[in-house]
Amino acid sequence: MKFVEIKNFTKDLISWQREQGRHHLPWQKNRTAYRVWLSEIMLQQTQVSTVIDRYQLFLKRFPNVRALAEVSVDDVLAEWSGMGYYTRARNLHKCAQVVVNEYDGNFPSDPELLERLPGIGKSTAAAIAVFSYGVRAAILDGNVKRVLARLWGVDADLSKSAAVKSLWAHAEQLLPSTPDDLVSYTQGLMDFGATHCTQYQPVCMSPDKGACLFRNRCQAKLNNQVELIPLKIKKINVQQVHMDWWIFIYKGKILLEKRPETGIWAGLWSFPEQNLSHKNNAEKLNVVKHVLTHRHLNIQPHKVLLSAQFKKINANQEWFNLRDALKLGLPKPVSSFLKSLDLIHGDV
Ligand code: SF4
């Protein structure tokens, strides 16, 4: 793949970041590897506005990597509740344990070593190395791929490894050489992708947002291809899934069940999916809809008020009062459902 020369790209992006980029995000202060790592993982599939609050709460609960390594994975999942993509939380916990056990609690500075840690990909490893240790390394997350692809008019399928390999090589060539510039440049790429050259309605396509500093050099803009790059790949098949929730309530307590370690919401607490009472006195509540990446869930809740507790429940089931239940690792629809206080207050 050939890349045309875009004059002063690196220099102009650095100046733009210093003048117009983001400087007050909580993870931009005191950039230790732990803080940068945590923010990078949280930001992978969650919006900045949500991460800002959750990041501070997470740090309050687990102020350093040792504090995170020594708790149970259930505690980490509980703190992660509602953020989705729970593999991230499980990997955070595993990674913290490796850093404590193998690196005496200090994240390595070498991107190749960072990349071997659980849940850390090549771009995240580079971000930690740049921001925490001033190591010269290139980032290439989804936003940066889009920015570089548009600027250099790359209309290849970016799900193919050959195209991504070329972009990595190009991203490395663009790096500035001094550590100070490196931090502004890397932050600049992130800021530019998040606020300027966004997936939908980038600045150059929305006149009210002002002008893009690269409008006269951007290949996608010059060739009228902004909406075509990056190339849209085939839509993923979305599966419709029906699920039942059995909401057993007895004297202010609700029966919850820990889900298996694989599959949807692995290791989190939810409602039993079978009618354990084997009676027909359940009340059908409104269907809950929830969208996951590959699945659309249609959940039918059945409410059952019990006059006596079950004699036997499974090892993965437990009775909780509402307050304790809300402290568990819960998928978002389950916590929202539990918080619908009418259900609980009206009935127990
Ligand atoms: S001109 Fe448009 S597509 Fe090109 S870098 Fe600027 S915002 Fe992105």
Does the C-beta of 221 come closer than 6 Å to ligand 1? yes
Of 107, 162, 171, nearest to 137 (Cα)? 171
| pLDDT tens digits in sequence order for the chain, 348 residues long | 889 999 999 999 999 999 999 999 999 999 999 999 999 999 998 999 999 999 999 999 999 999 999 999 999 999 999 899 999 999 999 999 999 999 999 999 999 999 999 999 999 999 999 999 999 999 999 999 999 999 999 999 988 899 999 999 999 999 998 888 999 999 999 999 999 999 999 999 987 888 999 999 999 999 999 999 998 776 678 899 999 999 999 998 999 999 998 889 999 999 999 988 877 788 999 999 999 888 999 999 999 999 888 888 999 999 999 999 999 999 999 999 998 856 555 444
Does the C-beta of 138 come closer than 6 Å to ligand 1? no
Is residue 329 within 8 A of residue 269, CB to CB? The reply is yes
CA distance 80 to 44: 14
Record the tokens describing residue 59, joined without a space.
């740090």
Distances (CA, A) of 133 to 111, 180, 182: 10, 11, 11
Cα of 148 from ligand 1 centre, angstroms? 10
How many Cα atoms are found within 13 Å in the side-chain-facing hemisphere of 204? 23
Q: Is 40 considered catalytic here?
A: yes
CATH number of 239-345: 3.90.79.10
How many Cα atoms are found within 13 Å in the side-chain-facing hemisphere of 77? 22
Does the C-beta of 196 come closer than 6 Å to ligand 1? yes
Is residue 74 within 8 A of residue 46, CB to CB? The reply is no
Does the C-beta of 255 come closer than 6 Å to ligand 1? no
Nearest ligand 1 atom, CA 203: 7
Is residue 187 within 8 A of residue 179, CB to CB? The reply is no
CA distance 298 to 170: 45
Q: Ligand 1 atom 6: the closest Cα is on which residue? A: 212
Q: Which single residue is written with the structure tokens 């389950």?
A: 334
Task: Name the E strands within the chain.
Answer: 239-250, 253-258, 269-270, 283-284, 288-291, 295-305, 317-321
pTM above 0.75, yes or no: yes
The end-to-end CA distance of the chain, in Å, is: 66
Record the tokens describing residue 281, joined without a space.
């006195």
Cα of 341 from ligand 1 centre, angstroms? 47
Nearest ligand 1 atom, CA 212: 6
Nearest ligand 1 atom, CA 219: 4
Of 5, 40, 115, 261, which residue is the catalytic one?
Answer: 40
DSSP result, 135-164: -------HHHHHHHHHHTT--S-TTSHHHH
CA distance 168 to 163: 9
Does the C-beta of 68 come closer than 6 Å to ligand 1? no
